[in-house]
Amino acid sequence: MCGIIAYSGNRSATPILLNGLRKLEYRGYDSAGIAIHSNNSIHIYKQEGKVENLVKSIGDYENDSTHMSGNLGIAHTRWATHGPPTTDNAHPHGASASGEEHNIALVHNGIIENYRALKSRLEGEGRVFHSDTDSEALSHLIDSYYDGDLAKAVSTALKEVQGTFGIACLAKADPGKMVVARRGSPIVIGLGDDETIIASDASAIISHTRQVIYLDDNDVAVIQGGKVDIRTLDASPVVRDIADIDWSEDAAEKGGYEHYMLKEIFEQPTAISNSIRGRIDTDRGTSVLAGLQLEPRDIVDLQRLVIIGCGTSMNGGLVGEYAVEDFAGMLSEVEQAAEFRYRNPIVGSKDMVVAISQSGETADTLAAVREAQCKGALVAGLVNVVGSTIARETGRGIYLHAGPEISVASTKAFTCQVSVLLMIALKFARSRRLSHEEGIKIAKEIERIPELVEEVLKQNDHIAKLAEDFVDYDNMFYIGRGYLYPVALEGALKIKEISYIHAEAYHAAELKHGPIALLEESMPVVALLNEGPGKEKTLGNVEECRARKSPVLGVITAGDEEAKINCDWYIEVPASPHYTATITSTVALQLFSYHVARLKGCPIDQPRNLAKSVTVE
């Protein structure tokens, strides 16, 4: 959730690190800091708030020949877990036995679960702590073992650590060396000409190099300029593959849009096209998903599909559950990834588990993947980031190819997830019970999704106008049935994330079982009213809402006059089967959420308290 950027080479580290921190701002953070090894000392600057606060505190670093001119450094953006967002709690954390000049400086992502015991022991040895963080305990622990060999000190310390970490560490007595390591929190090593750039996210590296190495858990790498030596915690040498980043730096820029979120909403036709390109075989009425490594015989032998994810990914998984059962007649269920590992799930060799995570690093989902593997299930990843941990640990799955998603609130990743899940459902269905003719029909409908989304985007101005009527509401309900219930969940999540309006989603039938007590003029209802099974019953629920004076915004099929007259406002989406209407309706609600948040003046791309990649449990 936090961001790491580090540099070792022959250039001045400070401007590279500060620019890298700016590239990581989209992840969400509350403080920032930098440590530079220069003139036989480690110089640390850190500030709460934005990166620009840090830049101001440093001063004229471009003309500083003493403190900030070194070519070795580490930097960090923090998302608070232990202790409030203050300057003292910001990273990097320095450490020394005397409590004076720093012998060690460290940046850390993750959570050290046994930090209290470590801190108590270290305080008993006379060490003085200056923060509330778990990370400072690790910096002191490393320093306590340091005897001139930084890699050895790091490895020895990490063997005592319980929890997760992605770290970069410097030592005052090692002016040319940096040590990085990971367990459960990503570290990417960018390979340049006589230089190395380390980060927690490839977006901070792409302007320097496209060649990267992804560390595996319990890897420890010693970095010296352009030299990278990777070993295990036990000092055994290992070789990790070099990968290429497959997107350009321009793909992570706003491209003239006011916000990344709006850009990414409008990128969806292209992103979805990239997700389905080469994966639909309309002649055979099936999908081609080689990454699943499943032949029809394997699919027939499977008894159940279990989909795991958190937040937006779990909402997308619900659409997949409905489609697999609907198309393939196969038992399917969605599990909240954070609960999966703790409730002793019943899965085995006849089950396939699909783990959904945009980043491929979501801590809860990764833990669930490992639990499913321990139980003997086939496990596949559905991720957007090539080389991410879930992709590497599952060894099978499907990349979304949605391109980088910078805004914290997910948009194109969700619609690409749903598109891929529909293709999975089609593949399973054709291997089990679906006819050739029905398969062709569904395949063609999936291919239509990008053009359907284009039609929704044409309503941007209309949606922006009706959003003006919602900026003063404090609460909202979202309702839907069948395939549109997950859309209600995702729509409510989006309005919460970026506009801070409290919103709840319910299956439309649940409205009468309690929530209806809250209906009044100040409680608008967003109703998913697309043509398809359940529409008439949802219209009945809309009547119940209006009878209690709750105004209703309907998402309706274009030309549906009956739905129009039952709504106070409406957004029309093109006619399509209910399984693809999940995507068009979601795009309409993304635009709605965006424009409400814009009119309220909210920080759309970096909502308060949120982080893009949730790498802690």
Dist. CA 532–CA 585, nearest whole Å: 13
* Model pLDDT, residue 1: 57
**434-484: pLDDT as tens digits:** 999 999 999 999 999 999 999 999 999 999 999 999 999 999 999 999 999
* Model pLDDT, residue 403: 87
* pLDDT greater than 60 at residue 125: yes
**321-353: pLDDT as tens digits:** 999 999 999 999 999 998 988 888 889 999 999
- Collapsing DSSP to helix, strand or coil, 318 comes out as helix
Nearest to 545 by CA among 533, 557, 553: 553
Angstrom CA distances, 164 to 1, 220, 236, 531, stand at 12, 14, 21, 47
* pLDDT greater than 60 at residue 613: no
Dist. CA 471–CA 151, nearest whole Å: 54
Highest mean pLDDT among 158-167, 182-191, 344-353, 436-445: 436-445
Sign for the pseudo-dihedral over CA of 482, 487, 489, 492:
negative
* pLDDT greater than 60 at residue 488: yes
Active-site amino acid positions: 2, 612
pTM of the model: 0.80
* pLDDT greater than 80 at residue 67: no
Residue at token pair 């398809």 = 532
- 20-24, 237-241, 490-494: least confidently modelled range: 20-24
Average pLDDT, the chain: 91
Alpha helices in 403-510 (DSSP H): 412-430, 436-447, 449-457, 460-467, 484-499
* pLDDT greater than 60 at residue 617: no
Dist. CA 482–CA 319, nearest whole Å: 9
The single-letter DSSP state of residue 27 is: G
Nearest to 171 by CA among 88, 228, 94, 86: 94
Other CB atoms within 10 A of residue 454 CB: 14
Buried-state track 232-245, b at ≥16 Cβ within 10 A, e below 16: ebeeeeeebeebeb
* Model pLDDT, residue 406: 85
What are the structure tokens assigned to 127, written together?
A: 């060490």
Burial label for 432, CB within 10 Å (0-12, 13-18, 19+), is middle
Using CA atoms in the order 71, 76, 77, 82, what is the torsion angle rounded to 10 degrees?
Answer: -160
What are the structure tokens assigned to 209, written together?
A: 């190099």
Q: Which domains does the chain have, with CATH numbers?
A: 3-245 (3.60.20.10), 255-447 (3.40.50.10490), 458-603 (3.40.50.10490)
* pLDDT greater than 80 at residue 64: no
Dist. CA 494–CA 589, nearest whole Å: 8
What lies within 8 Å, CB to CB, of 461 at 6+ separation is none
Return the ∠ at Cα 20 (arms to 237 and 174), rounded to 5°.
45
CB–CB of 435/419 below 8 Å?
Answer: no
Looking at the chain, the number of H-run helices and the number of E-run strands are: 20, 26
The single-letter DSSP state of residue 159 is: T
Once rounded to an integer, what is the mean pLDDT over residues 232-253?
A: 81
Dist. CA 271–CA 267, nearest whole Å: 6
Once rounded to an integer, what is the mean pLDDT over residues 15-36?
A: 86
- For residue 544, the surrounding DSSP H or E stretch is helix 535-547
